[in-house]
Structure 1
Amino acid sequence: MPLTDIALKKLESSERPYKRSDQNGLYVLVKPNGSKHWHMKYRFNNKEKLMSYGPYPLISLKEAREKRDRDRKLLLEGIDPSTVKKERKLAAEIDARGRFDVLAGELLEKNRLEGRAENTLKKKSWLIEMANKDLGKRPIMEITPSEVLVVLKKQEKAGNLETASRLRTTIGEVFRYAIASGITTNDPTIPLKGALVRKRVQSRAAITDPVRLGELLEA
């Protein structure tokens, strides 16, 4: 006999967990502490498996049946609902973790744990803060080379050629960390090699006078 909301509300706890069935594999499990949880029992590839839908009344009878029907449709298509659930969970985790600022923070923490010099960490943190102003809230998988170039060109236009170069390197580090973490497969800073104005290095004449060389060494 199918469950009703009235019947569900009347279910009381017992010393041991017990089940009350609805239809087509759906049932509610009543635990000794009085909590009630939805499950669906099914078979896939001749193996008995279980789906969990959450607690009642947070998940209503209507919602539990909708979840059951959705998963039964997957079974008709030869798809294991538990596999789909794992994929959804992984996608949600990647979505939550996949922002540039989150991964940049993880990289910085990794560098700290590796014992990088404090001055190095300060410089990298400064560069990451700079990148976060434009890229921080963006999903790292969606960031394009042209988007990164806009960020770098801001520093270049301000005359900060060395900063622009170091910023490209740091952003690239974040992307390589994301690739290693399985979040993305692309580093958009690679195509930008050579896209920035290089700082001109001024050569200085070598000191050949022994007296002047001695003064330099003493200084």
Structure 2
Amino acid sequence: MPLSDAAVRNAKPSAKPRKLSDGGGLHLLVTPTGSRHWRLQYRFEGKQKMVTFGSYPVVSLTEARERRDAAKRLLAAGQDPRVEARLTKLTKSIVAANTFNMVADEYLAKMARERRADATMEKTRWLLDLARVDIGERPIADIKPIEVLAVLRKVELRGRYETARRLPPRLMSRLDRRRGPRGVPARARNLRRCGNFCHPWVRSP
């Protein structure tokens, strides 16, 4: 019998861990300490496996069921939900660590290895430092057009209109190369090709 919100909310701990089944392999594990964890048991390539969906109440009954259904779709497509969950977690951690600051540092190091002129290094460092203030700690994949616009506005307020015109292609080229084709919005690519400072780029969500 499927669980109800009340049954999940009022589940009490006992001396031993106990499972409250919701059907389709999904159950709520109630530990002796009172913690409640969503888990899905399933078979993949003839082996019994299990994947966790998080803890209640952070993950509600409705959300747990949605994740169970998503896992079932993966199984139907011949994919292991546990492996996919691990890959998703790994991808998120890599994306979170892949910040603008890290990309900027790598680019400057590359320029140094190529023995670029001191004047070129200084100008590039100055341009990147302008962006670092606002988006330095942001993961590359999460940077939004409006954040880039904020950087350009600051440059304009300093009267550096030529810099504001040149910064978008330089900045977006750094984002494009690190994010790759899957992570680069079309408007970002359009901005990079733009000959002038393209405010309209940030107008579409």
TM-score, reference length from structure 2: 0.51
* CA distance in 2 between partners of 1:192 and 1:35 (Å): 54
For residues 54-83 of structure 1, the C-alpha deviation after alignment (integer angstroms, 9 at most, x for no partner) is 222343444433432443344344343345
Secondary structure of 1:22's match?
A: strand
2:129 is the alignment partner of 1:125: yes
Could you say which residue in structure 2 is the equivalent of 1:108?
Answer: 104
* CA distance in 1 between partners of 2:72 and 2:59 (Å): 18
* CA distance in 2 between partners of 1:192 and 1:7 (Å): 58
CA-atom RMSD in angstroms: 5.2
1:9-88 correspondence to structure 2 within 5 Å? 9-14=10-15, 17-85=17-85
Contact 2:172 2:189 in 1 (8 A): no
Give, in angstroms, the shift of residue 38 of structure 1.
Answer: 0.8
For residues 125-184 of structure 1, the C-alpha deviation after alignment (integer angstroms, 9 at most, x for no partner) is 23778xxxxxx6239xxxxxxxxxxx9xxx9xx99668755764454234334349x845
Contact 2:25 2:42 in 1 (8 A): yes
The letter of the residue matching 2:179 is A
Change (3 A) 1:36 1:172: same
Larger helix percent: 2
How many residues were matched structurally? 172
Contact 2:5 2:61 in 1 (8 A): yes
Change (3 A) 1:126 1:65: closer
Task: Give unpaired runs (5+ residues) of structure 2.
Answer: 113-117, 134-142, 147-151, 197-205
The letter of the residue matching 1:34 is G
Select the residue among 145, 149, 166 that pairs with 1:138. 145
Task: Give unpaired runs (5+ residues) of structure 1.
Answer: 130-135, 140-150, 197-219
* CA distance in 2 between partners of 1:163 and 1:2 (Å): 59
The letter of the residue matching 2:126 is K
TM-score, reference length from structure 1: 0.49
Give, in angstroms, the shift of residue 26 of structure 1.
Answer: 1.5
Larger Rg: 1
